[in-house]
């Protein structure tokens, strides 16, 4: 079957497409190694979670679990009630994140098998996992109208992200890595932009932003957004939403991953950083 391509939206030369029936080879060539985002229309078609993961499911099965959202504790059922009352004018806090592998491991089979596009993935390799620190690699996000991811950023540790929308619609804005110098990375947290609202930029305060060409598009139920590492992004919910985020690490982002790990360690200890660098060079052929 030939890939069916739906052009989502463009800004100048940049375009994000939605694709159905894509082969792994096409994904690897045109997206993974080309560092180009894509919305995959049918990646999660084999997941049980596709019909199972709804806000109601989490409310009835896990309502008494504690969740912390923007520093405040809730019972999950109370938070979902709050989501139901959320509005653009008075949004519920966002994001409410559930760490699946740590806290809901019995749900992992519902998002298995990992779709082919997210493979190979070395995040969970025992030789690599300890170096990932606090990076969460299997997360559910619950959101509601007006809920806005708090900042524009690219993901830590060089990892790629696959965000699969299972319920409701989210709007994403992405900006290519080549425009990093125009998004004002925070000096002490260079993965995060200082620009508070990418859709209403104060150009007097952030004049370089006139050079950026953000692309904004929606991702709906059953669709998966691939965000290659280095692409700046943010999101907000247009309705009540539930998505699953997976990360991946393989040959395509190995250099970025290695660079981030070594840089992070070298801030504390330069000799240890050198050892980590050697360690990664030695283990790479084993984990491939």
Q: Note the residues at the interface with ligand AKG (CB under 6 A).
A: 95, 141, 149, 155, 163, 233, 235, 243, 245
Choose the binding region for Fe ion from 45-53, 150-158, 199-207, 214-222 (rule: CB under 5 A).
150-158
Binding flag, residue 223, Fe ion (CB under 5 A): no
Binding-site partner at residue 235 among Fe ion, ligand AKG, none, CB < 5 to 8 Å by type: ligand AKG
Binding-site partner at residue 8 among ligand AKG, Fe ion, none, CB < 5 to 8 Å by type: none
53 vs 149, which CB is nearer to ligand AKG?
149
Token output for 103: 């806290």
Binding-site partner at residue 163 among ligand AKG, Fe ion, none, CB < 5 to 8 Å by type: ligand AKG
Which residue's CB atom is positioned nearest to Fe ion? 155
- In this structure, the dihedral spanned by the alpha carbons of residues 64, 70, 72 and 76, taken in order and rounded to 10 degrees, is -10
The pairing of strands 4-11 and 14-20 is: antiparallel
CA distances to 8, 21, 182, 217 from 5, rounded to whole Å, are: 9, 9, 31, 15
CB of 193 to ligand AKG, least distance (A): 12
Q: How far is the C-alpha of 242 from the C-alpha of 272, rounded, in Å? A: 40
212 vs 280, which CB is nearer to ligand AKG?
212
Binding flag, residue 155, Fe ion (CB under 5 A): yes
Q: Where are the alpha helices (DSSP H) in the chain?
A: 24-27, 49-52, 55-62, 76-84, 100-103, 254-268, 270-287
Is 130 in contact with 232 (CB distance < 8 Å)? no
Token output for 121: 């993935």
Residues 64-103 that bind Fe ion (CB under 5 A): none
164 vs 276, which CB is nearer to ligand AKG?
164
Choose the binding region for Fe ion from 118-126, 149-157, 190-198, 255-263 (rule: CB under 5 A).
149-157
């Amino acid at each position: 079957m030939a890939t069916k391509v739906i052009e989502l939206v463009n800004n100048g030369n940049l375009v994000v497409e939605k694709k159905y029936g894509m082969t792994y080879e096409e994904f690897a060539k045109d997206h993974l190694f080309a560092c180009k985002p894509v919305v995959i229309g049918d990646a999660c078609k084999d997941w049980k979670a596709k019909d199972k993961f709804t806000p109601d499911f989490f409310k009835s099965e896990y309502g008494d679990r504690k969740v912390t959202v923007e520093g405040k504790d809730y019972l999950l059922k109370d938070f979902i009630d709050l989501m139901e009352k959320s509005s653009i004018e008075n949004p519920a806090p966002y994001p409410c994140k559930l760490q699946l592998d740590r806290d809901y491991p019995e749900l992992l089979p519902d998002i298995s098998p990992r779709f082919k596009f997210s493979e190979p993935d070395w995040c969970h390799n025992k030789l690599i996992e300890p170096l990932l620190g606090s990076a969460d690699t299997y997360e559910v996000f619950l959101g509601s109208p007006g809920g806005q991811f708090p900042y524009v950023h690219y993901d830590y540790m060089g990892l790629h992200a696959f965000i699969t929308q299972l319920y409701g619609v989210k709007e994403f804005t992405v900006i290519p890595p080549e425009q990093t110098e125009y998004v004002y990375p925070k000096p002490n947290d260079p993965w995060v932009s200082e620009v508070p609202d990418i859709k209403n930029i104060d150009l007097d305060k952030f004049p370089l932003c006139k050079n950026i060409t953000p692309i904004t598009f929606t991702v709906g139920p059953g669709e998966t957004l691939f965000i290659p590492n280095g692409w700046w992004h943010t999101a907000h919910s247009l309705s009540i939403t539930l998505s699953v985020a997976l990360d991946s690490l393989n040959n395509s982002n190995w250099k970025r991953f290695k660079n981030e790990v070594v840089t992070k360690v070298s801030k504390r200890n330069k000799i240890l950083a050198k050892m980590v660098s050697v360690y990664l060079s030695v283990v790479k052929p084993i984990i491939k």
